[in-house]
A and B are shown apart, each in its own frame.
Chain A
Amino acid sequence: MKQFLVVLFGAGFAMGQGRGPAQGPCDRACLEGFINQYLEAMVAHDAKRLPVTPDVRFTENDIELKLGEGLWKTASGLGAYKLYLADPAQGQVAFYGTIRENTRPTSIVLRLKVDNRRISEAESIVIRGAGTANNMEKAGSPDPILMETVPPAERLPRTELVAKSNLYFEAIEQGNGQVAPFDPNCERFENGTKTTPKEGCSAQLDTKVFDYIQKIAPRRFLVVDEERQVVFGFFMFNHPGDITWVNSPGQGRHEMPASAKRPFNVDVAEAFRIKNGMIRKVEALMTSLPYGVTSPFVPQREP
């Protein structure tokens, strides 16, 4: 008993010491600094240089790995595209960027949770295949609408930002664009390519061509950048594969693509820019996964 207390005391002391020079909240610059440190450590193949909590958790494409595994062994250089989203209130930060994997252009989405200036969670999606990374780098820089500071008077509180973003998934599940508050100029990019028609985000959903997406769950809203009015999270798109066609209003029978006629999941990292209370921009990076895969950050099924 005595020993136990001593150990606890010692740990508290050590933690206090470690925290000493890093008191105060981790602001935007601090959070972005963690992303940069992480990427640099990864390219150096040296996870040990990162400040992490003892129970740090790391996932790549929804598989739990040890820091140092996966892309940590193959990353060979930094890329040119960098979009940071910061949530100082929650100590979380998200990043969309390009990197090099064994010299090949590759894209990464990275979410870090920072507790007392140490990384406690690192969640990543790696998009291999140069197409996405090339699209992103060709764009030059992220859409300014995702990076502009919104005057405080025009900002919505975080709960409302999340609620409005959530309606996007309701609209997809229901095949009804009216369900979500879409800005008339709303556009969506997926893996660096614009995937909304000139008719806009709302009208596209009304066609029901996305009805093969039967369930979007879990929906994890993890980073709310209040200053920029952007919500970021990971959203699991479940495709059972048994809706093979749909009656599209005004269009008639629409055959689903062959790729949608089989069970599969897609983990989508999605950023929503909410402007004037409406969804103005959706920026998504995603990867396909075996059907039924869930993020290790959500409770798992009992074996």
Chain B
Amino acid sequence: MRLPILLLLSGALLAQAPADCNRACLEGFVNQYVDALVAHNPFGMPLARKVKFSENDVLLDLGDGVWNTITGAGTYKLYVADPQSGQVGLIGTMRENSTPIVIAARLRIENRKITEIETVINRAAAAASSLEQLGKPDAAFTESVPAAQRVSRDALIASANKYFDAIEKGSADPAAFDKDCNRTENGAQMTNSPSRAAPANLSWNPWALGCAEQINTKIFSSYQRIYPRRFPVVDEERQLVFGFFMYQQPGDVLSVESPGHGTYKFPDSATTPGFTESAQLFRIKAGKIGKIESLTLGIPYGMPNPFFKDDWRRP
């Protein structure tokens, strides 16, 4: 008989909770988080009683990891806000013991308190400097899309998901790419970029190709699976999808027949077992993939993501 009373009470408490956390509110949490990192003090932030925090797929105590080493904020900050799920993403530069690094973060906010912090950190000096040289994020990631031109949340996720199907198949066919699609990885533009040096011993340059053509060359076929694919942050207003994707590379495929290019021999780095955790942001334009920005980190083969309960081998 006590149960209904408790339920009633909790209902009343819920009703008193602050209104939903909108874009400004969510971005405010990111700014608080960045300030807290620099101050080495997470405990000034509004925290839930239990906060789940991971850095590079390892669960740590809040206050450990980069909380001990960050010495300053950087100049590049790209936010992705999802008021519906109460989650917000960040790709931003920072300073770690004065060295530039890039951090991709996801915060989950419940009742205006942080319940989850998931981070991936890339310490390659070129990544941070490339992003800071851009000055600010590509406008495609920050413009508000007129309501009439938007597709639904589910459609946004479906479009992004097909990108990974395309990579797994070594064929762009499953996905729909905008004709102006470009992909940036760790600050470097990896598509339509003929000035980027081709991989060693290659007579053709995959980086000169567009998003779809590049996938058709099968140079990504060392990634036999991309799973789990988690799409936690959907910014409907800006038509963005941000998530974390595990690129699985068993290392046992040594070469592939690349259509029109003959046999493509994978580099040594692609023929060792490894996982790559990729924090990836998609801009979907009229249902097609318009722009991709990712931050990646190599981790040991088989490393599970602490926010994903199932086996990475399934389904």
> A residues near B, CB below 8 A?
60-65, 69-71, 73-74, 101-102, 104, 128, 240-242, 244, 258, 261-263, 289-293, 301, 303
- Across the interface, which residues of A come within 8 angstroms of B56, CB to CB? 290-291
B303, A63: Cβ atoms closer than 8 Å = yes
Q: A63-B301, A69-B301, A303-B306 are in contact. Are A240 and B64 (CB under 8 A)?
A: yes
Instruction: Give a binary string over B255-284; 1 marks a CB under 8 Å from any A CB, 0 the rest.
Output: 000000000000010011100000000000
Instruction: Give a binary string over B18-60; 1 marks a CB under 8 Å from any A CB, 0 the rest.
Output: 0000000000000000000000000000000000100111111
Give B38 Cβ to nearest chain A Cβ, in Å.
14
> B residues near A, CB below 8 A?
52, 55-60, 64-66, 68-69, 96-97, 99, 101, 123, 250-252, 254, 268, 271-273, 299-304, 306
- Across the interface, which residues of B come within 8 angstroms of A69, CB to CB? 250, 273, 301-302
Q: A74-B272, A261-B96, A263-B68 are in contact. Are A64 and B60 (CB under 8 A)?
A: no
A103 to B240 Cα, complex, angstroms: 43
A292, B58: Cβ atoms closer than 8 Å = yes
Identify A74's interface contact among B57, B68, B101, B252, CB under 8 A. B252
Identify A73's interface contact among B64, B252, B300, B303, CB under 8 A. B252
A73, B60: Cβ atoms closer than 8 Å = no
With most chain B CB atoms within 10 A of its CB, the pick from A74, A244, A263, A303 is A263
Q: A60-B301, A63-B302, A241-B97 are in contact. Are A292 and B252 (CB under 8 A)?
A: no
Known: A70-B273, A74-B252. 15 other contacts (CB 8 A): A63-B301, A73-B251, A74-B250, A102-B271, A102-B272, A240-B64, A240-B68, A261-B97, A262-B99, A289-B300, A290-B300, A290-B303, A291-B64, A292-B58, A293-B58
Identify B97's interface contact among A60, A74, A101, A244, CB under 8 A. A244
- Across the interface, which residues of A come within 8 angstroms of B66, CB to CB? 263
Give A286 Cβ to nearest chain B Cβ, in Å.
14
B300, A261: Cβ atoms closer than 8 Å = no
A-B pair number, CB within 8 angstroms: 97
Q: A69-B250, A102-B271, A262-B97 are in contact. Are A242 and B68 (CB under 8 A)?
A: yes
Give B176 Cβ to nearest chain A Cβ, in Å.
34
A292, B65: Cβ atoms closer than 8 Å = yes
Identify A292's interface contact among B52, B64, B96, B302, CB under 8 A. B64
A25 to B139 Cα, complex, angstroms: 70
Top 3 A-B pairs ranked by shortest CB distance? A292-B58, A242-B68, A261-B97
Which residue of chain B has its CB nearest to the CB of A104?
B268
Give A17 Cβ to nearest chain B Cβ, in Å.
33
Give B179 Cβ to nearest chain A Cβ, in Å.
38
A60, B55: Cβ atoms closer than 8 Å = no
Which residue of chain A has its CB nearest to the CB of B299?
A290
A262, B96: Cβ atoms closer than 8 Å = yes
A74, B69: Cβ atoms closer than 8 Å = no
A293 to B275 Cα, complex, angstroms: 15
A242 to B64 Cα, complex, angstroms: 10
A291, B306: Cβ atoms closer than 8 Å = no
Which residue of chain B has its CB nearest to the CB of A242?
B68
A69 to B301 Cα, complex, angstroms: 9
- Across the interface, which residues of A come within 8 angstroms of B57, CB to CB? 290
B69, A263: Cβ atoms closer than 8 Å = yes
- Across the interface, which residues of A come within 8 angstroms of B273, CB to CB? 60, 69-71, 73-74
- Across the interface, which residues of B come within 8 angstroms of A101, CB to CB? 251, 271-272
A70 to B248 Cα, complex, angstroms: 11
- Across the interface, which residues of B come within 8 angstroms of A242, CB to CB? 68-69, 97
- Across the interface, which residues of B come within 8 angstroms of A71, CB to CB? 273
- Across the interface, which residues of A come within 8 angstroms of B303, CB to CB? 63, 290
B60, A292: Cβ atoms closer than 8 Å = yes
Which residue of chain B has its CB nearest to the CB of A263?
B65
- Across the interface, which residues of A come within 8 angstroms of B97, CB to CB? 241-242, 244, 261-262
- Across the interface, which residues of B come within 8 angstroms of A258, CB to CB? 99
